[in-house]
Structure 1
Amino acid sequence: MAAAEAFVRYYSELMNYAAETGDPGPMLKASEAGCETCQTYADFVKVSNAANGLLTGDYREHLTKVSELSRGQSGHLGGSAVVTVGQYVSRQTRSASPFQSKAATYTREFALSPQDGNWVMYEMKQDEQ
């Protein structure tokens, strides 16, 4: 279970890297091809990211707690994590109206899948606390 928790924390950093650079490649390599939420996030940061100035503020997520890790019969491992994000602003284009996001704490539920001796993100969803 320690390896799964370490992966979840690493994946959060991959998401932060994608938001900073606009390059979701490393994050997608650590994701199952069918992870819709992963792809949606990747599509967002390709357009709005800190490198191109369309994502500003305290957008980095901070993962504070990983819990409820359990392995299912399919081999997938599920759990949840507490994630905090500060106040930030995103835009679709430089001329678009800014979208203000307030600071928030989320519970991210996730499922991991084993792949070539490692974990990959199978699916995730977030609910604001």
Structure 2
Amino acid sequence: MTTRNRPQLLTLACLGTALLLTACTSPSPEAGRPNTAPPSTIPSTAAPTSSGTGAPPSAPPTSAPTRPATSEGLTLAAAETFIRYYVDLLNYASATGDIQPVLNASESGCRHCKDYTNYVKQVNAANGGLSGDYWERVKDVPDLFRGESGRLGGYALVTIGAYTSKDSPSAKPVTSTVRTYKREFTLSPQRGSWVMYEMELVAQ
């Protein structure tokens, strides 16, 4: 996923693979400029949020981020807020190894969500597998696309700082530098709100 020794992910629909968003439409007129007031991620008391500039916590957070009320529903604004919240969940998982909140916000068939969580369950900051500025920060969510399947695709621009990772206590550390990525994603509706259908992190 990143250079954190993670498994490679597949390219997503409307961004390369027709499987996820079949019969993709052109961008909605309000794509990237959501159809309600611009959302803002509600800060978690447990850790910095993806929209913030703070570094990863020096100690593992004690609780997962809370889903913002503005991410509920199936609007474009809700989708953007959900993506920012989902990145908060990824950061929480990387910090603690607690993967259940990510899985709860993902479809059960999201294979690459499982690849991510399987990795950070074994390699995370709490057990010494990650150190440094591994926090993922959302800079913008510039494009969202609705598909005829009812799914929604797009990407977020994110940055990740300099950090080291190692797959086991005896493994040689791997150093990663500050980089910018596109987090490509497809969302699907579930019980009236968005969940992660598939995702990929692509270096820029």
TM-score interval, smaller chain: over 0.9
TM-score scaled by length of structure 2: 0.62
Name the amino acid aligned to 2:108. Answer: A
In structure 2, C-alpha distance between the alignment counterparts of 1:103 and 1:37, rounded to whole Å: 23
One of 190, 193, 198 as aligned partner of 1:118:
193
Query: What SS class does the counterpart of residue 49 from structure 1 fall into?
Result: coil
Shift of 1:53: 1.2
State the alpha-carbon separation in 1 of the partners of residues 95 and 201 from structure 2: 20
1:88 aligns with 2:163: yes
How much does 1:108 deviate?
1.4
* Aligned-pair CA distance for 1:12: 0.2
* Alignment partner, residue 182 of structure 2: 107
**Shift, 1:10, TM fit:** 0.2
Q: Which runs of 4+ in 1 moved over 4 A?
A: none
- The CA deviation at 1:105 is 0.3
- Structure 2 counterpart of 1:127: 202
- What is the percentage of aligned positions where both structures have the same residue? 56
The aligned residue for residue 85 of structure 2 is 10
The offset of 1:99, in angstroms, is 1.4
Task: Quote the Cα distance in structure 2 between the aligned partners of 1:37 and 1:81.
Answer: 17
* Distance in 1, Cα, partners of 2:143 & 2:165: 32
Bigger strand share:
1
Residues of 1 paired with 2:89 and 2:192: CA distance? Answer: 19
- Partner residue of 1:20? 95
**Unaligned residue ranges in structure 1 (runs of 5+):** none
The partner residue of 1:50 within 105, 125, 133 is 125
SS at structure 2 position matched to 1:83 = strand
User: Is residue 75 of structure 1 aligned with residue 150 of structure 2?
Assistant: yes
Q: How many equivalent residue pairs? A: 129
Cα offset for 1:25? 0.5
Please report the RMSD computed on the Cα atoms of aligned residues, expressed in angstroms.
0.8
What is the deviation of 1:37? 1.6
Output the CA distance in 1 between the equivalents of 2:91 and 2:141: 17
- What CA distance in whole angstroms lies between the structure 2 residues aligned with 1:42 and 1:109? 17
**How many angstroms apart in 1 are the aligned matches of 2:152 and 2:184?**
11
